[in-house]
A = this chain, B = another copy of it.
Amino acid sequence: MTTFESISDQLEAQAIELPSWAFGNSGTRFKVFTTPGTPRTIEEKISDAARVHELTGLAPSVALHIPWDKVDDYAALGRYAGDLGLSLGTVNSNTFQDDAYKFGSLTHTDAAVRQKAIDHHFECLEIMNETGSNDLKIWLADGTNYPGQGDIRGRQDRLADSLAAIYGRLGDNQRLVLEYKFFEPAFYHTDVPDWGTSYAQVAALGDQALVCLDTGHHAPGTNIEFIVAQLLRLGKLGSFDFNSRFYADDDLIVGAADPFQLFRILYEVIRGGGFGPDSPVAFMLDQCHNVEEKIPGQIRSVLNVQEMTTRALLVDRDALTAAQDAGDVLGANGILMDAFYTDVRADLAAWRESCGLPADPMAAFAASGYQQKIADERVGGRQAGWGA
């Protein structure tokens, strides 16, 4: 099997963007539990994100969500982040919390509502120009709850028009990534429910438009690594939103529900050229820490991605190809499983130390006193959340 030593240099390039909203409160329609120390501002979110990167070396950027993270001075915010060792990353738009969007945003039958939603994306692009962000990520909550409520076909056509308007404003180094989601918050149809729809829409836009794959946004039983392989083949995989699920869009910690699936996804990423310094694929988390601690939850998440990336890099691809070509089903499967079953944690701990990082970032965080510090300091104000 491939050795850890032979692949460890490839680990250096790994970067996983953190979502600012993961540090705020989140929950379900039934209850949002609050916790002491939860950030009140984007600056406090960035401060928390900086701890994750400091302890893991894996998370050098933070994604913003507009309007949740709006500030007056984005240049100042960028400097604030930079001082903490972070950069500002993807800008996420929000077309699901304004009353105007009750029946749709970019797909709405009313041109005025569509323009409002388009203008919101223009504002996001202006923020990106100030923050230096490259990616505008669009997750649309648009959809309907009842058959007949909307005209599926007309909505798709209007979506194409709205996206074209937004796409036309992209700067040369900017990208539009379009996320798809099987269901929720719409319960009969969503306007971008699957990778095929996202692909068809971004293919019509041009080279700077790509697909965002959220690992929790598929029908039960969907083979996600197949989609990864296909989108890489088509040159249209722009980014990942990592999380995990047992049922719906549970938004659990990535790798928590099915670590073997995460391994298979990362194997196809590597196989398809989606990993490494030249890859256009952006790795991001998109999770909710409803009942667990938020900062350790993020640390655990980036470590999970790193551990499974490492295992995927360990696959002996020459031997695998030979077994595949020979029709040796058990042999080929065994080669993949050998890598998955290899316990890379000690090697990673040593490698981390060699990089000046703590061997055990989870323990280092617990010992740091940071959680107690923010619990003590962040008193009063309004804790950040989704504002639902």
Contacts and interface: CB of A to CB of B under 8 A. Distances in A.
Interface of A: 26-34, 96-97, 99, 102-103, 109-110, 141, 145-153, 156-157, 182-185, 187-189, 193-197, 199-200, 218-223, 225-227, 229-230, 232-234, 245-248, 250, 252-253, 256-261, 264, 268, 271-272, 290-293, 296-297, 300, 307, 320-321, 323-325, 327, 329-330, 332-337, 340-343, 345, 362, 386, 388
Contacts of A102: 33, 291, 327
Contacts of A99: 33-34
A200 B234 contact: yes
Nearest to A244: B187
A210 to B, nearest CB: 15
B229 A148 contact: no
Nearest to A332: B148
A28 B290 contact: no
B330 A296 contact: yes
A34 B97 CA distance: 12
- Give the dominant DSSP class at A's interface: loop
B195 A196 contact: yes
Nearest to A225: B152
B30 A386 contact: yes
Contacts of A388: 27-32
A102 to B, nearest CB: 5
A362 to B, nearest CB: 7
Name which of A26, A336, A341, A342 has the most chain B CB atoms within 10 A of its CB.
A341
